[in-house]
């Protein structure tokens, strides 16, 4: 981990923080001094990550929440403001793979579920957190995307490809609209990482041939740092 990164006094929200990349990023931010807000559905898993963070000397607040509750998601910004008075960093990491197969055979219900998770929830996060991020002296927003090979229209990757392509465009629009502010908004493609989602997408792959989530946290640290100059970019870990 870079010795130059110091998040002391920073407040960071990480979605999908109960496992995989989200958990690794949360722990790295906490070790760097940030107070991390852990958002995910599973209270039990969040408590496990919280224990690891506290053992490492960090601080965390648990926020068990289902991102599919879009109406309640609109209250997130005011809730964070009431509790912390600010928000400096957003890592929008939560995502859903969905079924891989012919697009014409995907159910309407599943299409909506994946789109709500990967796109609509992030739209609501932008809406509710924008005032807080703009108010920070160095607001940072990182949205986790996927490889260009998927977002360009990979066959049989169904709603996942559609949702991530839409996410990329939405975040680029948001970045263009915040270019003259202290906010830095970027997309990050983590690449092939040893996660449950990757195992579902490529079941025949040896997971030990892939980097662990902890191996790619450096780029998340850099993009959230006060010295970050990247804006409106799609970067790869």
29 annotated active-site: no
Quick one: tokens of 71? 């109406």
> Which residues does 83 contact at the CB level (< 8 Å), separation at least 6?
61
Catalytic residue among 29, 81, 156, 160: 160
- Pairing relation of β-strands 11-15 and 89-92? parallel
Active site residues: 160
């Amino acid at each position: 981990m870079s010795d130059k990164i110091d998040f002391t006094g920073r407040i960071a929200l990480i979605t999908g923080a109960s496992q995989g990349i989200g958990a690794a990023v949360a722990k790295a931010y906490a070790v760097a001094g940030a107070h991390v807000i852990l958002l995910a559905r599973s209270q039990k898993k969040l408590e496990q990550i919280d224990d690891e963070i506290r053992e490492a000397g960090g601080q965390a607040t648990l926020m068990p929440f289902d991102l599919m509750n879009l109406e309640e998601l609109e209250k997130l910004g005011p809730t964070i403001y009431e509790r912390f008075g600010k928000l400096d960093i957003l890592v929008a990491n939560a995502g859903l793979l969905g079924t891989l197969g012919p697009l014409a055979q995907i159910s309407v219900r599943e299409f909506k579920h994946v789109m709500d998770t990967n796109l609509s929830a992030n739209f609501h996060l932008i809406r509710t957190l924008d005032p807080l991020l703009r108010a920070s002296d160095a607001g940072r927003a990182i949205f986790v995307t996927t490889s260009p090979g998927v977002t360009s229209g990979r066959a049989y990757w169904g709603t996942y490809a559609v949702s991530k392509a839409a996410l990329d465009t939405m975040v680029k629009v948001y970045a263009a609209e915040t270019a003259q502010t202290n906010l830095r908004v970027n997309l990050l493609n983590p690449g092939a990482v040893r996660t449950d989602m990757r195992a579902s997408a490529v079941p025949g792959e040896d997971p030990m041939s892939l980097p662990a989530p902890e191996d790619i946290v450096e780029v998340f640290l850099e993009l959230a740092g006060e010295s970050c100059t990247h804006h409106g970019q799609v970067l790869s870990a």
